[in-house]
Amino acid sequence: MASIESTAINFQAFEPKVQNRFIMQMSNVGIPGFMVRNVKTPSFTDQVVKLDHINTYRKIRGKREWADMTMTLYDPISPSGAAAVMDWARLSYESVTGRAGYSDFYKKDITLQMLGPIGDIVSEWVIVGAFVTSADFGQLDWAQDAVVDLGITVSMDYCVLNY
């Protein structure tokens, strides 16, 4: 006869992570952490390789692809958020001269830290080899009294969850 462990029915105290407690460290690309309004956390997809074996199929894991991360940034007057994004994007391609940069220049490591209720770091992602793949510099409207947001998409080589 199956029995239930006593720890399974007793109260377990826990503190959930909440969405509004995070810091995005991108100072090495010139974007201060306070500009990051929201960010999509890392995610990946593993491809499936289908093996033909006698009269059935076997499946194994194929290559892993890390999904692009989207972010919304505030665009303050000073320091300019748009200028910070363009400075990072210019490391890979300069529109005026047509110069393309080496990946050593434009690929940067950035860090996403989740915070606990007292401001301690409870989770940390290191995004390795990140670079800007698209940028949206917001929308302007005479009828609106809202802040200007910047949207960027960042692609990366891989991510590491430290804790």
**CATH number for 74:** 2.30.110
Q: Is the pLDDT of residue 137 over 70?
A: yes
User: Residue 29 and residue 90: Cα distance in Å, rounded?
Assistant: 11
Q: Please indicate, yes or no, if residue 5 is contained in any of the structural domains.
A: no
Is there a domain that residue 128 lies in?
Answer: yes
Rounded distance between C-alpha atoms, residue 67 and residue 57, angstroms: 28
Task: Provide the 3-class DSSP secondary structure of residue 26.
Answer: strand
Residue 35 lies in a domain: yes
In tens, the pLDDT along 7-54 reads 667 777 888 999 999 999 988 899 999 999 999 999 999 999 999 989
Nearest of 77, 74, 44, 93 to residue 152 by alpha carbon: 74
Whether 4 is covered by a domain: the verdict is no
Count of domains for the chain = 1
Domain annotation covers residue 25: yes
Residue 1 domain flag: no
The answer to whether residue 116 sits within a structural domain is yes
Q: In terms of residue numbers, what domain contains 67?
A: 15-161
pLDDT at 163 over 70: yes
| Strand ranges (E), 29-148 | 36-39, 44-53, 56-66, 69-74, 108-115, 121-136
